[in-house]
Chains A and B, each alone.
Chain A
């Protein structure tokens, strides 16, 4: 317990985060008036760039994938020499995901050049940058990501950079940990500080939790009403009671206060649904590029007019566990000469970096006590490994409090350190 006590535990009363329900926090994130003041897009000198990292995909990928044959990323530049921070997106998310956009604004305002990167599990990254196109093996994903980061640096060789920093949220935080570890030997960046935001600790626990979210018992679903119809009915009734449609940031909070508000099971199902769509995208893209024939026949001709709906129907049957079992594990076994799932889990989770994380004072982690991607014992592991470099917030769900002013201040303080 002596070690455990040294983590920075933020107590609920002084923290003051308004959403104590982890599902609400995950979906709605922080109410607008409690977010930090951030610059608008107009005030940021930024552009999207693209990299050709896997030129062979130009020929091997079907025509209707033309948009993801090159990897895009976004760079926001200061007009003077400045530190540069890389931000890695979470599961399935692209460089322009809303959390990436938020973090960009936060760090740009604090004087950083900012590079926003897609997750190694995102459609564009798998297609344009991934060697094996089968994300899930953290070391491999980190190597792909490292090449991307080196290419970004090379594309802007004249950008005056003082130091390099690294962060990522959710799965992107796990990637950041592995990238940082890789950098210790490759030394392209010598990251000064690395911040992990809501990382999974045990990847297998996380994917099982996420898969399980669509198994909640939701009231109001029956033979004639599907889950989406139920959600849309609620939304329709909500707007009718309100009298008009007004889509703004306050909508979610207002909705949760209305008679149509969602139950925990419904919110869990909604979160689970969004992850299932990511799983379907990953399973399909990986299968297509590797021509495994599980979802799409390897020789199926695809043009811009070809309907992908039949493959979507097959892909959506596959959750994360199915993707791991059908695609990741067989590939991993073939490449490494076999091994148990337990060994794989240890290799791809934070456990693999235990000694490194324990001794590397430049890496810190921020997490929430009620994050849905964690399992029993995970926080204990973080406490033991990170000590006082772990900041544990009492609320926030999965990444819901990243845009809370208390959290954003803590992030900036860590990087200023």
Chain B
């Protein structure tokens, strides 16, 4: 079924191109694609189906849209850039020499179901701030869903070790206080790279502090209090966080990784706030 839909989507897109190609320039208007029953473009004698043939190009081939977009994207308010970059390199080294070896050891000594149990457990704890912030943003439906998640996962999922809610069609939805601030129009403030935690900005760092304080105050499942006596719980949480975070320093393999991470962080936060 999915394949058929995909096929239809591909056809739809192809039909759109053909329509654009055959119609006179002036009559091409913005709008929804139409399926047009035109025969596909004939291949060349050797079988080549030039994909560029289907495209509409800027007549002079001299537009500078890539440059314009990218230059504008580099405008992120980053007055502490020099310090941020040093912290970035510090985190990079910490990651290579401490965190990733820890994660490797963790993966070596634990079976996968244990690791997913740990992840689920901390995710379940995280649903408490998710709920608070969703309520603060007056998102009724989402708040109800997160409440249901908390109940199902804590009770049926044995304290959150298992995540039955996701299977029941209630996926995890992250809301933090940084997003709540953003929701009410608080600007990002300067970009920050936090030691250990990585990319952030003034608004989101404030959010982190508030969420942390909230977690301590709520003391859900007594984890916050127990962690004070048993720092190994906190350590496990750090390892789990690193284990579940896909990002690897150097994975963009670019001398401009700092800029790219900064842009992606800023934009993904905007996306999260908008939804």
Residues of A in contact with B (beta carbons under 8 Å apart): 4, 9, 18-24, 31, 33-34, 42, 64-68, 92-94, 96, 118, 122-124, 209, 212, 214-221, 226-229, 232, 235-236, 239-240, 243-246, 253, 256-257, 259, 261, 263-265, 268-269, 272-273, 276-277, 280-281, 284-285, 288, 304-309, 312-313, 315-317, 369-372, 374-380, 383, 392, 394, 397
Contacts of A212 in B (CB 8 A): 52, 57, 61
The reply to whether B58 and A216 form a contact with Cβ atoms under 8 Å apart is yes
The reply to whether B58 and A209 form a contact with Cβ atoms under 8 Å apart is no
Which of B51, B54, B107, B258 makes the CB contact (< 8 A) with A308? B258
B134-159 to A contact mask, C-beta < 8 Å, 1/0 = 00000000100000000000000000
The reply to whether B251 and A96 form a contact with Cβ atoms under 8 Å apart is yes
Q: What are 9 contact pairs spanning A and B, CB under 8 A?
A: A21-B14, A212-B57, A217-B58, A228-B73, A263-B17, A263-B20, A305-B85, A312-B74, A378-B48
Closest residue to B5 on the A side, CB-wise?
Answer: A257
| B:20-35 near A, CB below 8 Å | 20, 30, 32-33
Which of A93, A256, A317 makes the CB contact (< 8 A) with B13? A256
Contacts of B86 in A (CB 8 A): 304-305
B48-80 to A contact mask, C-beta < 8 Å, 1/0 = 111110111110011101111111111000000
Which of A209, A226, A376 makes the CB contact (< 8 A) with B65? A226
Separation of A269 and B55 alpha carbons in the complex (Å) = 10
Separation of A4 and B43 alpha carbons in the complex (Å) = 15
The reply to whether B44 and A376 form a contact with Cβ atoms under 8 Å apart is yes
| B:185-233 near A, CB below 8 Å | none
Closest residue to B40 on the A side, CB-wise?
Answer: A20
Determine which residue in B47, B86, B96 has the highest number of CB atoms from chain A within 10 A of its CB, and name it.
B47
Separation of A262 and B70 alpha carbons in the complex (Å) = 19
CB distance from B125 to the nearest CB of A (A): 20
Contacts of A394 in B (CB 8 A): 49
Separation of A393 and B30 alpha carbons in the complex (Å) = 33
CB distance from B7 to the nearest CB of A (A): 5
Which of B12, B49, B50, B73 makes the CB contact (< 8 A) with A226? B73
CB distance from B70 to the nearest CB of A (A): 5
CB distance from A247 to the nearest CB of B (A): 9
